[in-house]
Structure 1
């Protein structure tokens, strides 16, 4: 059971939270900074709720802010949720600037607080898995460097990479632009016996047709005007290693014939030459077009497709990868924060919602660029939607469509003009829908994310009239 440290000088609030949250978490209670730090060091909870008014300064915030600082010094990844009164709003904002994950205004509504806590534990688990993946990557000699993913589609990709890496067969990688096709090709190369040799990439759609043959197969001296010496092509240069043919669907038909011959016979002829040259080069190809439709149109040879597509790896678009969006966003945030020397530590709940709601036509490449932009533009430790370029800051301030500070997950989509009961029902309904979408209908995983049992989750589905996945 996950551990939750509750730091509050009020015995009634401590009892209320222990009673209301005790079934979901192992509760640790503290009423002072000294007691809180002692319990924190002993148990290392991932999430802490913190009242700023702690003795001896129960009417101020000095002790609460000191406690926050001590916790984050010991473990910066801890999710500290500040519980404050409305009159303590500025102190709560100061706590967020110091590194608090979120704040929640008293009086406490357990149902709303449970949503925030569930989200905090989920983010903490996601970040922990991210760190584990990064450590595993560094221990695998760069084998999967640059590839991260927890969704079922990416787990299937990882399994295929491991199977084909050491087997000398052509591989065809399919996927939209920006999904990471070249990164996967590099992973296959590094994982196999060819990893110590050259990995050579060439974009078949970026080189003019009259030059592509020479780029691939090389040319002899005098083969054409300007050919003043013999030049090796990319196929020879990658000898012993791997040649990555990006956008192979753009390769001219006549050149497809010569590539097919190489795949069949493992020999080439340079432009202007007559000698067959044996070359040991593995071919990995990629395309973002519908290759079967291209075959039907006569634009791509069917026999070449069968040769290069002995093993096909289909990369999913980012919009279909669920929680991988947040995982990758945090990977890029850590990378660019370190690269640019900026202390940016996370995303506001509103920014996270934008990341999930956006369609990502440019896929992982677009996400990487947006996070890089955010690190450059961010003025605070928390990335907001305007830092990512989703909206203008001025538009946000005028319309009030999202908070300037992170004030809880529910606030990102809580309608106005409703009673508390109505608002709670809508929040619960949307959270159920969003969780099912993220887990692709996995009931067990959805229940775990929301911190409820499977029977309770089924009851909630029935209550809200939601379709139960088969």
Structure 2
């Protein structure tokens, strides 16, 4: 018996954020005191036990070893046992779940805050789906029957592994309001490669071209390059070439003198001149008209500009970063973009990975966004349901990170429970489990009955409790459990 090959050794987890303290291009010494790293979460003594038919003797042994058991017979019940930010050890009895029940459990097995140990009979190990789940998500497995002492030994190691993963997630998702709150977040190989590329290109002064789909964060990458370059103390100026009418683009880029045209009552400095000494981001450069392309090419060749209506040649020292979501190679073949300008702009190239290719970063980013915008809602959101996590991974994300931010922010405001579900993200069709469990139906009906009674009696708790046939204390407890106390406080007295 041994752990799956990819989990047999503990390696340092990849750094998930691109910190400002690295790769200073001018060899400026780094400060002696580095920002404090997030502390690793303390392992929880609660042991999750997922089984349809639990082993009473195993439970008694684990309790005698100091574990507090949290038994769950369904995926929904297991999800409700979790506290966000806490690391757990978990035991899942594969033999007690039927094949169609393993799908809903996969979203929970995927969560990094739980170190799973699988219990499996030789017959279940012959199932390819069971072997896949164990191989991908479990720290180790035990072939039944097995000694209880060995299971206790393995779960202690599993909770340690979960603590390492939770520490990695904490470092990737800092609390709101901390420095670097808008930094780029990512742990996948594609993002780590992007971080390395940013460090390299920041050390030079050559023009950079950033390519990627809309919504992938090209402006964040440009800002990261600027902040790690020798020009970081000078201005960073961005202009969206596709958002400015063509007849105004020349004056926006290069400025104008007083009297240059009707309405030019005073001199205006253009974006290129405003970025003198720093960095100029030309976003959506593919939408730049051909006449403006010629003026920009002349500036790149000579390093000098002339304001509209002026005769003075002004020297400007600026680094150009350009970005677009279209394929400029196709635009050059179609004659809508100058090849000589492209070669001036694309000295160094950075490719932004789409969100669908970033693996577990999707879940990390979703938690980061929830953390950052949690104040949008009066109630405190605790996280995502297993079906929501599953939908996040199954959805293709054509709008990339921008779409993820919009969906999560909308769900924070519109969700009726403290856990965001796939339906709140408008992604219910991307969750495999479409059925509602008995526990979910009971919870929904109970909340609806309480809401109806409160409305009928205008939030007079004593009368609503009598109508429901329960005590006022019980009603108050149920309101808190369903998040109705938060809504009552937010709305104020009737």
Correspondence for 1:351: 388
Deviation for aligned residue 1:165: 1.5
2:231 is equivalent to residue 194 of structure 1: yes
The secondary structure found in structure 1 opposite 2:424 is coil
Structure 2 equivalent of residue 132 of structure 1: 171
The answer to whether the 8 A contact 1:326-1:355 is kept is: yes
Cα offsets for 1:393-449 (capped at 9, x unmatched): xx99xx971446999xxxxxxxxxxxxxxxxxxxxxxxxxxxxxxxxxxxxxxxxxx
Distance 1:117 1:123 in 2: 11
The corresponding residue for 2:406 is 369
Change (3 A) 1:275 1:136: farther
| CA deviation after TM superposition for structure 1 residue 204, in Å | 0.3
Counterpart position of 2:434: 401
Q: Mean Cα displacement is larger for which, 382-391 or 121-130?
A: 121-130
Q: Tell me: CA distance 1:180–1:227, structure 2 relative to 1, closer, same or farther (3 Å).
A: same
- Select the residue among 58, 63, 68 that pairs with 1:13: 58
Shift in alpha-carbon separation, 1:76–1:331, aligned structure 2, 3 A? closer
The total of aligned residue pairs comes to 344
Deviation at 1:114, TM superposition (A): 5.7
Whether the 8 Å contact between 2:173 and 2:367 is mirrored in structure 1 is no
- Asked if residue 381 in structure 1 is aligned to residue 418 in structure 2, the reply is yes
Q: The residue matched to 2:428 in structure 1 has which SS?
A: coil
Residue 342 to residue 172, structure 1, CA distance change in 2 (3 Å): farther
1:179 aligns with 2:180: no
Q: Distance in 1 between matches of 2:186 and 2:396?
A: 18
Assess if the C-alpha contact under 8 Å between 2:206 and 2:347 holds in 1: yes
Instruction: Give the alignment of 1:172-251 within 5 angstroms.
Output: 172-251=209-288
- Mapped partners of 2:188, 2:136: distance in 1: 23
CA contact (8 A) 1:170 1:310 kept: yes
Residue ranges of structure 2 left out of the alignment (5+ in a row):
1-7, 11-42, 73-77, 98-107, 140-157, 441-494
Aligned residue for 1:118? 138
Alignment-derived partner of residue 87 in structure 2: 78
3-state SS in 1 of match to 2:209: strand
Is the 8 Å Cα contact of residues 226 and 236 (structure 2) preserved in structure 1?
yes
Determine if the alignment matches structure 1 residue 297 to structure 2 residue 334.
yes
The Cα of 1:239 is off from its aligned counterpart by 1.4
Q: 1:30 to 1:326 in 2, by over 3 A?
A: same
Q: Say which structure is richer in helix.
A: 1
Give the aligned CA root-mean-square deviation in angstroms: 4.2
The within-5 A match list for 1:253-268 is 253-268=290-305
The answer to whether the Cα contact below 8 Å between 2:387 and 2:433 also exists between their aligned partners in 1 is: no
Offset, 1:307: 0.9
Counterpart position of 2:481: none
Task: Please identify, of 196-205 and 338-347, the stretch whose mean Cα deviation from structure 2 is larger.
Answer: 338-347
> Could you tell me which of 9, 30, 53 is aligned with 2:63?
30
Secondary structure, counterpart of 1:344 in structure 2: coil
Question: What's the TM-score once normalised by structure 2's chain length?
Answer: 0.60
**Aligned residue in 1 for 2:199:** 162
TM superposition shift of 1:76: 4.3
Report the Cα offset of residue 30 of structure 1: 2.7
Pair 1:315-2:352 in alignment: yes
Q: Distance in 2 between matches of 1:347 and 1:83?
A: 21
Cα deviations by residue, 1:242-262 (Å, 9 ceiling, x for unpaired): 111110000011111111122
**Which range moves more in the overlay, 123-132 or 232-241?**
123-132
Tell me how far apart the structure 2 counterparts of residues 173 and 202 of structure 1 sit (CA, whole Å).
14
- 3-state SS, counterpart of residue 281 of structure 2: strand
Distance 1:30 1:199, change over 3 A: same
Tell me what 1:466 maps to: none
Pairwise mapping of residues 25-64 of structure 1 onto structure 2 (< 5 A)?
29-31=62-64, 35-36=66-67, 50-51=70-71
* Alpha carbons of structure 1 residues 157 and 136: separation in structure 2 relative to 1, 3 Å: farther
Q: For the structure 1 residues 289 and 406, does the alpha-carbon distance in structure 2 shift closer, same or farther, using more than 3 Å as the test?
A: farther
The Cα shift of 1:391 comes to 3.5
Contact kept, 8 Å, 1:172 with 1:312, in 2: the verdict is yes
Report the alpha carbon displacement of residue 364 of structure 1 after superposing the two structures with TM: 0.6
Cα distance change, pair 334–183 in 1 and its aligned pair in 2 (3 A): same
1:115 deviates by: 8.5
* 1:349-373 deviation line (CA, Å, top 9, x unaligned): 2111111111111001001111111
CA distance in 1, matches of 2:439, 2:120: 17
- Matched residue SS, 1:195: coil
The aligned runs of 1:416-427 (5 Å cut-off) are none
How far apart are 1:335 and its partner, in Å? 1.3
Q: Say whether the 8 Å CA contact 1:145–1:187 is kept in structure 2.
A: no
Find the aligned partners of 2:176 and 2:234 in 1 and give their Cα distance.
20
> Secondary structure of the equivalent of 2:349?
strand
Unaligned runs of 5+ in 1: 19-28, 38-48, 53-64, 87-95, 408-470
Distance 2:387 2:298 in 1: 55
- Asked whether the equivalents of residues 44 and 86 of structure 2 are also in contact (C-alpha less than 8 Å), the reply is no
**1:345 Cα deviation after fit:** 2.4
Residues 1:7 and 1:306: Cα distance change in structure 2 (over 3 Å): closer
